[in-house]
Amino acid sequence: MEVKDSIRARRSIRKYRSKSIPREALEELLEAARLAPSSSNLQAWNIVVVTDKATKNTLVPASGNQGFVGECSAYLVGVAEADYNAIDIAIALDHISLRAVELGLGTCWIGDFDPQMTKKILGIPDNLKVHICMTLGYPAQSPPARKRKQMDELFFRDKWSAKWK
Ligand SMILES: Cc1cc2nc3c(=O)[nH]c(=O)nc-3n(C[C@H](O)[C@H](O)[C@H](O)COP(=O)(O)O)c2cc1C
């Protein structure tokens, strides 16, 4: 599968099969994140990979009661100290989301979460911040592609005033 195929096939998955991810597959995904670029190559981020069922269930109320957080095989919690490192985490998690498609797995970004509750449950130190999370697991649904804006709504050519044609 080429990168363009994963980009096209990726969907937000909110229903998961009850199946754990083999260690090798999980490590392939984490390797995709490890190789991601970061500001000054500082790699100033961490991801807590939560596979323990009881812990995932505890995280449901910390994630806007989105039940599929408890049903996914792994819940990925993106942590860093500085706000600008949120970009690095997003790139790393995006690598995971695209590699996941190749491995028959699905993901969903989770932005609706309570950072303080999440930190407390996972024992994340005070000086660090949870920036974004992601569910990961074997899809139990095949959602259709959601609509995207047209090129000329998103891009400008050379100057702000010149729409992409
Ligand atoms: C930063 C970010 C946060 C998101 N947070 C949530 C969330 O908390 N819950 C959820 O169900 N989907 C969440 N989504 C998924 C979006 O709703 C989804 O990507 C969008 O509707 C497009 O659908 P698609 O991913 O299937 O193409 C989030 C996506 C992003 C990029």
Domains of the chain, CATH where assigned: 3-154 (3.40.109.10)
Q: Report yes or no on whether pTM surpasses 0.85.
A: yes
Confirm if 129 and 79 have CB atoms less than 8 A apart.
yes
Distance 158 CA to ligand 1 centre (A): 30
The residues lining ligand 1, judged by C-beta closer than 6 Å to any ligand atom, are 11-12, 14, 66, 108-112, 132, 143, 146
Residue with the nearest Cα to atom 30 of ligand 1? Answer: 109
- From 87, 91, 108, 130, give the residue whose CB has the most ligand 1 atoms within 8 Å, as the site to mutate: 108
> What pLDDT sits at residue 165?
83
- Stretches where the chain sits below pLDDT 50 are none
> What pLDDT sits at residue 161?
87
> What pLDDT sits at residue 1?
87
Percent of the chain at pLDDT above 90? 98
User: How is 32-67 classified by DSSP, letter by letter?
Assistant: HHHTS--GGG----EEEEE--HHHHHHHSGGGTT-T
Q: Which of 141, 142, 146, 124 is nearest to 133 (CA)?
A: 124
Residue with the nearest Cα to atom 10 of ligand 1? Answer: 110
Positions of E strands within 13-163: 46-50, 74-80, 106-110, 129-137
> What pLDDT sits at residue 118?
98
